[in-house]
Amino acid sequence: MSYFGTDGIRGKFGQMPITPEFALKLGFAAGKVLKRNSPKNKPIVVLGKDTRLSGYILEAALQAGLNAAGVYVHLLGPLPTPAIAHLTRALHAHAGIVISASHNPYFDNGIKFFSSEGKKLPDTLQDEINQELEKDLVIDDTANLGKSVRVTDANGRYIEFCKSTFPYHFNLHNLKIVVDCANGAAYSVGPSVFRELGAKVISLFNEPDGLNINENCGSTHPEQLQKAVVEHQADLGIAFDGDADRVVMVDKNGDLIDGDHILYILATQANHKPKGVVGTVMSNMALELALQKADVGFVRAKVGDRYVLQALEENAWVTGGEPSGHILTLDKSTTGDAIIAALQVLTVMVEQGKALHELVEGFVLFPQVLVNVRLQQMIDPYSIPALVAEFDKAEQQLKGRGRILIRKSGTEPVIRVMVEGDQQEEVVSLANHLADAVRAQAQVA
């Protein structure tokens, strides 16, 4: 049985597999595998978390399991997911573990692993851990137990790393920035980075209580940030999600700058254009056309940063991401990093001497409508000729002006119908028409 999904192990705290008992066994299993793969010395694992209350329990359980397997654990405390990836490399650890459910509510949690290079754990090691989880937890020799230490300067190390990705001859002295920390992992380090680079920073949602992470705030709920930017007459706003691997921004007018806007800025407005950009099947067609016009390559990956990273490595490119704000800049960091992505946009603002809204002037996202069709029983829409004919007809109608995306949910009996095009009314009409067609065929099936 495999416990790992596309982004580690995730679920509701208190229900398998996100329980203290499972975390203890997972720590032990991962520790045994790491020991096998580093026989000459005791492996080191760095362990960080976001601000959820359940993180303290999972941290203690994982730590105990790892120590029991003979692993030395470096405890980092609450820090962004990309900080754990960076510190895994910086501290020459054999692996990194993050306890976080990212943008999910407080009652969820998750466990994600990084390799010694600060990248996703290889599938081969995940398979070994899964196999080890089927065995009993047996301690061979108490003389071989591991120890745990707290890394007291983890925050400072990560802040300096983030600042190093911003050109040393630039500063943010002339900018007022509102930073929404989502009551999450970046509540301390996020504002500090921009403040230390010279910006006047107004912090929002930076008082986590273990339950308010992502609650009506952060990158998934930027409405409060949009209001605050206008009220404070700030130059821009920056919103993270709970573990600060996603970012969205707000210009001085209160308009949202999402992941597609950020990729557009980094690909077309910077002094040095990338060779190509990786988006996903959800990336807006306006981005694809704008990159085409700028002579920048573009490919789409499946939804998920794992697939974006894979496509970047296959093409030897460095810039990619998702509309949700998960942005990768592989010349700066090994994984999606909200703070570093925001700094790259700020770099373009400073070098061009332009406001944020000026960097996206003329770039208008196509209207996009998503209809979720809930079914009694899941069907494969592409196995039904009548539906395929409807999809083909819609694609022909939008050819060169838009696109459709029909995909099955991986977690529930839902077909997601997405239509995108240059005319709002046409997009709404087509999306509803296709959704009705799916419902009708599902009833027949």
> Residues forming the annotated binding site for Mg(2+)?
102, 241, 243, 245
Contact 73, 59 (CB under 8 A): no
Euclidean distance between CA atoms 234 and 371, whole angstroms: 36
Q: How many other C-beta atoms are found inside a 10 Å radius of the C-beta of residue 302? A: 14
Phi, psi of 105 (to 5 degrees): -65, 170
Contact 96, 113 (CB under 8 A): yes
If you count them, how many residues does the chain have?
445
> Residues forming the annotated binding site?
102, 241, 243, 245
Relative to beta strand 247-251, strand 236-240 is: antiparallel
**Catalytic pick among 100, 102, 115, 283:** 102
Task: Judge whether 102 counts as a catalytic residue.
Answer: yes
Which residues does the annotation mark as catalytic?
102
